[in-house]
Amino acid sequence: MISWKKTMRVGAAALCTAALGLSLLAQDAAAQEKKYKIYLSLSYSGNSWQSEAANIVKALAKTPPYDKMVELTEVISGTDPQAQIAAYESMISAKADGIIGFPISSTALNRVIHRGCEKGVKFFMYDATVTEPCAYNVSYITAGFGENTAQALVNALGGKGKIFLSRGVPGNSVDKRHTDGAMSVFKKYPGIQVVAEYYSYWDDRTTQQETAKALAAHPDVDGIWAQAGEYGAIQALLDKGNKLVPMTGENSNGFRLALANPDYQKRGLKGVSAGSPPATAGYAFKLMMEILTGQRTLEPGNIEFPLPWVPADQVKLCKGQTFEDGCNTFPDGVVPSSFVTEVFSPTLLPELSIQSALEGKPTPGATIKPLPSDVPKASNEPGINCQKCEPPADLYKLTKVQPTVTP
């Protein structure tokens, strides 16, 4: 016969177990209902690249299950570092969980980032980098755009000729790293003469205007080393009635179509499409969310995104709305010529579509997919992504192209 006291003990234990279970369920439900306060911080924002990078973060934030978990606020501070510092201060005061941003300076933001980290804010920088060690830098700039494209241009020119340098935004780590890498190659070739150097702010229209000014002084230019905005350089050459010349550039759809255009090739255009993928913003955002939600443990540091590399003979038109079957360019009329094609990654960002990049809209029926477990590390580069660090011995090592001309 079971005693009354024993029955009471068993009943009490059962009630405690049930209460604990309910408590755990309540905690789990509360965790699922938590809204993470995320800020999307843009500095320079005046081109298609910046719009697309911001739009894919917005699209991912609206994709299940993030749509129920994320409170995303976009802030555009412009090219003044002090304005971005003030924006960061406000975000920290508002108790941000995470700040994902394109930093205007690699060093000016360090103090405010450090204060934010001490308060538990996660800082994820995409494309451009900072040297504050508590931040995560998700970028391709250490993958060698500058040196590889410069060597490709030298090869195309046979080691001699007058060239323009079409740069990005003054003071930004991306522009600095690109130009440093390029000059490490150009300086090896006495026959290469940089006759014009200008800032085009990674924008087609500005590049067209600045290239036109350079052409007025140097109509006999032999080649153009360009960062983003490269399609504008082609337009400047066409407007002036000039022959086309070998060029480097980044990933605009118009530039890739031009490289594959037989008529343009006959008129002298050759080159390679490489450079900055807006996909770094989406990758950074997903990494941040996996860390905030406890799905991933990752120490702050430098994370490398692979460098796209599409020579003229490798341009392949897509049949659908994303990169499939090795395609890398959309037919004329599907997207604007300024559309930066490298927003897609079947492995890292399968949730995205053209509408995601152009309008910030989630892809119908898409859900967030986990990232691969491996996160590639980027090399340390003083003044670019680290402070007290040593650069690799092969800092400007060529990885995509080899010299065909003897320096």
pLDDT band at 45 (very low <50, low <70, confident <90, very high): confident
Give residue 77's pLDDT. Answer: 93
Closest by CA position to 313, among listed 267, 276, 270, 277: 270
Chain-centre distance for alpha carbon 15:
54
Q: Please provide the average confidence, as pLDDT, over all residues in the chain.
A: 90
Helix (H) or strand (E) holding 180: helix 173-186
- Asked whether residue 239 is domain-assigned, the answer is yes
Looking at the chain, the whole-number percentage of residues with pLDDT higher than 70 is: 92
Give tens-digit pLDDT for 338-352: 999 999 898 999 999
Beta carbons within 8 Å of 338's beta carbon, 6+ residues apart = 47, 48, 204, 231, 252, 253, 254
- Asked whether residue 95 is domain-assigned, the answer is no
- Asked whether residue 355 is domain-assigned, the answer is no
Give residue 172's pLDDT. Answer: 87
* Average pLDDT of the residues in 4-31: 41
Give residue 30's pLDDT. Answer: 46
Range of the domain at 203: 144-274
- Asked whether residue 107 is domain-assigned, the answer is no
Give residue 305's pLDDT. Answer: 94
- Asked whether residue 234 is domain-assigned, the answer is yes
Residue 15 has pLDDT above 50, yes or no: no
* Average pLDDT of the residues in 229-244: 91
- Asked whether residue 201 is domain-assigned, the answer is yes
- Asked whether residue 220 is domain-assigned, the answer is yes
Residue 268 has pLDDT above 60, yes or no: yes
Q: End-to-end CA distance of the chain, in Å?
A: 99
Global pTM reads: 0.86
- Asked whether residue 178 is domain-assigned, the answer is yes
Beta carbons within 8 Å of 228's beta carbon, 6+ residues apart = 47, 49, 168, 202, 203, 249, 250, 251, 252, 275, 276, 340
Task: Please state, in angstroms and rounded to a whole number, the distance separating the CA atoms of residues 328 and 344.
Answer: 9
The structure tokens listed for 343 are 């927003």
* Average pLDDT of the residues in 203-227: 96
Return the CATH number at 164.
3.40.50.2300
Task: Please state, in angstroms and rounded to a whole number, the distance separating the CA atoms of residues 170 and 394.
Answer: 26
Task: Please state, in angstroms and rounded to a whole number, the distance separating the CA atoms of residues 330 and 118.
Answer: 45
Into how many domains does the chain fold?
A: 1
Helix (H) or strand (E) holding 358: helix 354-359
CB atoms within 10 A of CB 46: 17
The structure tokens listed for 405 are 């001309």
